Every structure is written in C-alpha cells, then in structure tokens.
Structure 1
Amino acid sequence: MATTSVMHTVLVPLKQDQQEIFSQDVIRGLSAKNKYLDSKYFYDAEGDRLFQEIMRCHEYYLTNCEMEILREQSAVISQTILSHTRHFDVVELGAGDATKSIHLLKELLKTGQDFTYYPVDISGNVITQLERSLPRQLPALKVHGLHGEYFDMLQQAGILSRKTKVVLCMGGNIGNFTPPEARKFCRQLRNYLQPGDIVIIGFDLKKHPQIILDAYNDAAGFTRDFNLNLLKRINQELGGNFDISKFDHYPTYDPGTGACKSYLVSLEEQDVKIGDHTFHFGLHEPVYMEISQKYDLESIGQMATQSGFETVADFFDSRRWFADCMWLCI
C-alpha cells in the first residue's frame, strides 16, 4: 500500500522579519527617482487567487503552452532525467499550485524511484495549500514544503538531502528578471548546485508582439487587479492610504529586446502616506511593477553556457511559443 509522507514546512525568515523587509523594500522603491515596487510582493492570498484567474484567461497563453509540454511529454522528460541520475530529489522554485509539475511527478513516481518533492515558494499560503492537496492527489509522493527565498530554501534542501537535485523553474519565472539579472540568477543557481544536478527551466519565447501584449492586458482585467492588489496589500500591512481608483495598469512590449513591462500610472497629482513616510505622485507618473522577458533559443543556449550548464534537451509546445529547457550542471 502506498504511504503519504508530509513533513513540516520550514518558515524562514520569521513573519515579523518578512514584514520589516517588505516595508523597507516598498519605501526604497517609492523613494527612487523612477518609482518601482518589487513584484515578489504580489503574492499574498488575494494575489495568489488573482494569479490563478490570470492563468485561466485565454489570453494568458503561457500556462496552456507549458501545461501541454508537461502533459504530453512528461514521460520523455522523466526518462531523460533517469538517463542522467536515479538517486535524486525534486526541488521546485516558485511551485505555485503545481498543476503543471504534477504531471512530471506522476511519471517519476511510476518509475519506482524514491524521491522527495520540495516545493519552494515565498507565499506561505501556497505551501500550505500544496501540503494539503498533493498527498490527496499523489498518495505515494513525499512532500516537504519550503517557505522562503529561492536560494535560502535551495540551500535548506541541500542540507536536508544529499541526493542529486532536479530543480524545476517552471512557468517562465526566469522572465521576471532582466537579461543581465537572469544571467546572474543562473550563475547563482549553479553555485548552489553540484556537478550532475539537473535544472529544468521554462522560457517564454519571442512571438507576435500582439499575442504577448494581450497576455498582460486581459479583457477581464485580472492582470490590472493583480497589480493594483499590491497597493491594497501595502495599505493593509504597512498602514498605507493608496486610493486604488487613482491608479491604472499599463503594460508595454518591445519586440526588439523582448522586454514586456507593466506599470501603474498615477491618474492625478497626489500624495500617499505609508506609516511615517509621504510619497508624491505626479500626474501620469509611472510606477514600474514587473518585467516578463521573452527569449530566443540562441540567447537561452548562451545563458546556459555562461552560467556553468550544458543543454541536455529543449521541450516545446506544438506552436513553439514556450520551451522547457533541461540543463546539466557541469
């Protein structure tokens, strides 16, 4: 009979420390000459809910593209992993609801390999939900949730288990960095891994600009609400007094560089208080919220090589709009 193994979530750092860091990051961003907010703070409980709505939007093709890859090709991906290692654990950075990676986890379980799944997410709500739902869906799966920053939790996973790591960076999360930041992230990732470890990383590929722009400006307004929700979170957690009706969501896409960026634009001249701090917003002043960088295969291959990886395989959806790339640590 299959057994379920769910271990205690690692809560690092402490909640009060996280709130202090949140406050410092917000004050720093809104004090800058060109105002910005850190997109990692989108994901409170309401942000998680709104992002689930975004992923269900027909305009947001990324989810369906990667879901197709994992649903249709997980057996091949599993066999490719097993051709390199049979003594491993799976670590997923930014696990979300695991609705895509669950297909690969199922295939790996079918092989009879003894592995633990370590979902990592900055949202404690996400980890709690995964630890409740995954054992019901995959009773044989060992789950150990890790709540915190990616590299801190990857290091924690290395302490908990000395097995080879299969690290999943799904959903095109690498696109949340500019290309220089992405290269830095991949080099840092490599520094936390050992030769023989495997990374499977999702990249949204360049395509017709309108397809990309529509994905970040859905007709139902979920992406708009997702961005504005961060202002609500600042009000609730940091004592802010943002009037949400006085800001609008504005996405842009540059097909030359592949940079898709989102802004909140002030609809009037106004002052906003957050605790003891007051911030002035000019009429039409933008607040930079996030980037969703798009790539071509040549630049992806260069990033792998420059970061200390060797490309093992690239897996595409049927339209070749998205790629899950398997890299080997060398």
Structure 2
Amino acid sequence: MEATLEKKNVSTEMLPDVLEGLQKPQKTLPSKYFYDQKGSELFEEITELDEYYLTRTELQIMQEKIQQIANRLGEKIQLVELGSGSSFKTRLLLDHLQNIHSYIPVDISRSFLDDVAQNLQEEYPELKIQAIATDYTKSLHLPEIPDAVKRIIYFPGSTIGNFTKENAEEFIGLIANSLHQNDGLLIGFDLVKDRETLLAAYNDSLGVTAEFNKNILQRINNELGADFDLSGFEHKAIFNEEKSRIEMHLVSRSKQVVNIGGENITFEKGETIHTENSHKYTLSSFREMTNPHFKEVITWTDSNEYFAIQYLHN
C-alpha cells in the first residue's frame, strides 16, 4: 500500500476485507477499521475512563522513567510512531530527547493524523515532522536518514495486543527488517492480571467502549453504503483465558439481513461479530515472541506490574 493513503483507497480495500470477514463461520471485522475520525475520537475518550487502566499506567511509567528511557535511546534520532493517536506520550519523548532529527507519525486515519501533526508542529516549530497515512501492519516505507541518525520505532498503547500471537511475531519481524544496526523498537504491552480488572477495562460503566465497538458498523454504513441497524447489535467483552486475551464482540439481537456492497449477510439471533482481540502477556511470553528478532531488551514496569514498556535492539 502506498504511503500517501487516502480515504477512498481505504474504502476500496475495506469492502473485500469486510465481506471476507463477515462470510466466515465466526464473523469477524478487522480492528483497524475502528479508527476513522469518530472512532479515533472515541478511543481517546476511552483512554480517560477510570476503568481503562492501560493508558494511565503506561503514561505513569513514561513520566517516572522518561529520563532513563531518553538516555537509553540516545541522540540524533528519527522517531517513528506507529498508530500515533493523539501523540500525548510522544510529547514526553520529544521534550527529553537530545538533538532529535525528525518525527514521523504513522496512522491509518489521514484526517486525525493531519490534526495531530499540525498541533505538534505548532508546539515544536523547529522539529521536522512528516506524517504518513498508511496501513503500517503491511509495509513500512520510511524516509531515508543519514547514517549518523538512529531510527527508533515507537509502538505505544499496547496495540500489539490486538494482533494474534502469530501475527504479532510477524509484525515484530516486519519492524526488525526496517531497522539497521543500533536502531531499536520502543514498545508498550499489557501484562496478565486479575480477571475483574481486565473485564472492567473493556466494559466501562459509561458505555463509551460499546459506542466505539458499534462505530465500526457505522463506518461500514458511511463508506460502503451498508444498512447496518446499530440498535440491532450489542457490545460484549469476554476474557478468553486459554488464549490470554480480551475478545470484543457485537451480538446480533435478532435474526436480520444486512446488505453490504450488493451482498446480503444473514445474522442469526445471538450470533456475534468478533471485532477485536487484546492479548495479555507475561514478560517471559513476550520475550519468547521477540527473541528471534531482537537480542537485547530493557524493561520498565509500574509498581503493580500491570503494564510494561520495553526497548528492543540488537
């Protein structure tokens, strides 16, 4: 996919992705389609909820350990952030890194990404910023840098948990292949913890996560001309202990038929669309996954060991 991905190109790819997923025995939708403008805004709301410990805990680690992290990353860096979101945590890095070469925010939502890049450019007028709208899970075409500049890929927010374990290892490999000697990956991931805390984070009392989950159907209506009735589906999040992951589903309230791109998709009452996974790791299971691609690792965690940030390099 080209780096200058526009919304119409996303829609061109979206139709076959959506139809393929909804024609499986267990209906699925790719979680990357959560993040249109509205979805990105809703996710930002989720990160501020009391139950959603992930962002708060990751930020706490960043705030408490930022000088250690910045010292370890070093100077003359091209900082590449995947799934940049609001780039709030990135500001901590930008404020503490020395002689930063450039900042490359990468996200699939062009409009949201442009807003983020513009706001950051106003705050850091001397910083070279080049926003790239692309599906970074498939390829990484990054700007060339001088030999003296170190490339650091930053993948915060536990987004790696949305991948299956197999796809996560493939993605780590994709990142590793885009790096050279002395480059590195700074990544956040959620740790295994008690079931009650996990479930509360994805079933918030205000219903923002439910609205976020249903918004993927609204996006399909908007961009593909589908006729989903959002009131006909309800949000459900469960913990799959065997696979160590939270699963988000949309449950059909009744038997219904939805038309998407001229194709009729039938839903039985109680049938679900599996929209997202959020895998939880132990430090040892995450290391087992990354070890084939990175030999050195430095880990920072919070006092409860709810979340981890690692710097991986060779």
For the superposition of Structure 1 and Structure 2, which TM-score range results when normalised by the shorter chain? over 0.9
- Structure 2 SS opposite 1:57: coil
Q: Please, which of 91, 96, 104 is the counterpart of residue 80 of structure 2? A: 91
Question: How many Å separate the matches in 1 of 2:308 and 2:22?
Answer: 35
Aligned residues: 312
1:326 aligns with 2:311: yes
Q: Equivalent of 2:19, from 27, 31, 40?
A: 27
Corresponding residue to 1:117 among 81, 98, 103:
103
Deviation at 1:185, TM superposition (A): 1.1
- Structure 2 matches for 1:102-181, cutoff 5 A? 102-108=91-97, 111=98, 113-150=99-136, 154-157=140-143, 159=144, 163-181=149-167
Matches within 5 A, 1:206-245: 206-245=192-231
Give the aligned partner of residue 5 of structure 1. Answer: none
Change beyond 3 A, Cα 1:24–1:150 = same
Displacement of 1:73 in angstroms is 1.2
Give the conservation status (yes or no) of the 8 Å contact 2:105–2:117.
no
Say which of 89, 108, 111 aligns to 1:100.
89
Alignment of 1:292-311 (within 5 A): 292-306=278-292, 308-311=293-296
CA distance in 1, matches of 2:224, 2:186: 37
CA distance in 2, matches of 1:14, 1:140: 27
Aligned-pair distance for 1:152?
6.4
Query: How far apart, CA to CA, are the structure 2 residues paired with 1:30 and 1:152?
Result: 21
Q: Does 1:314 align with 2:299?
A: yes
- What do you get for the CA RMSD once the two structures are aligned? 1.6
User: 1:237 offset after TM fit, Å?
Assistant: 1.1
CA contact (8 A) 2:6 2:110 kept: no
Identity of aligned residues (%): 35
Q: CA deviation at 1:155?
A: 2.1
Q: Indicate conservation of the 8 Å contact 2:236/2:251, yes or no.
A: yes
CA drift of 1:126 comes to 2.3
Cα distance in 2 for residues equivalent to 1:262 and 1:45: 20
Q: Pick one of 22, 27, 30 that aligns with 1:38.
A: 30
Q: Which runs of 5+ in 1 are unaligned?
A: 1-9
SS in 1 for 2:142: helix
Structure 2 residue runs of 5 or longer lacking an equivalent are none
Per the alignment, residue 184 of structure 1 pairs with: 170
Secondary structure of the 2:209 match is: helix
Q: CA deviation at 1:227?
A: 0.8
TM-score when scaled to structure 1? Answer: 0.90
CA contact (8 A) 2:139 2:174 kept: no
Deviation at 1:135, TM superposition (A): 2.2
Stretch of structure 1 that moved more, 12-21 or 122-131:
12-21
Give, in angstroms, the shift of residue 310 of structure 1: 2.1
The aligned counterpart of 2:52 is 60
- 2:40 maps to what in 1? 48
In 2, distance between residues paired with 1:253 and 1:208?
11
Q: Is the 8 A contact 2:299 2:311 kept in 1?
A: yes
Q: Structure 1 residues 286-295 or 159-168, which shifts more?
A: 159-168
Contact 1:304 1:311 in 2 (8 A): no
* Cα distance in 2 between the residues matched to 1:257 and 1:34: 16
